[in-house]
Amino acid sequence: LSHSSETFGDTQTVYRSLRNAVRLPATAKLKGIEFTRDAIAAKAVVDKYADLKQADVMLLLSIYRILNLSRQLAAKGRLQ
């Protein structure tokens, strides 16, 4: 997921500070999350095909949550 580092600041710092930043269904597991200056890449493994859509939506909402908090902190000058 691409984003502007000028708008969102350091998203990795926010990710590390949030407890349970990424929420997934019980049948899914976060395989990895990678931060670059202008993007976030996340991978999850889902055991049950029926939970794939829910896991996808929950993963995207978790990343949105990280980006939203990063944007708010960057706007207040608390995150570079």
pLDDT in tens, 19-78: 788 999 999 999 999 999 899 999 999 999 999 999 999 999 999 999 999 999 988 886
Helix (H) or strand (E) holding 13: helix 11-17
Based on the structure, what is the number of domains in the chain? 1
Whether 58 is in a domain gets the answer yes
Whether 22 is in a domain gets the answer yes
Whether 80 is in a domain gets the answer no
Integer angstrom CA distances of residue 72 from 14, 31, 76 = 11, 27, 6
Q: Which two three-digit tokens encode residue 15?
A: 């990710």
Whether the CB-CB separation of 1 and 63 falls below 8 Å is answered with: yes
Whether 56 is in a domain gets the answer yes
User: In this prediction, what percent of the chain has a pLDDT beyond 90?
Assistant: 65
Domain limits at 57? 5-75
Beta-carbon contacts of residue 59 (< 8 Å; ≥ 6 apart): 22, 24, 30, 42, 44
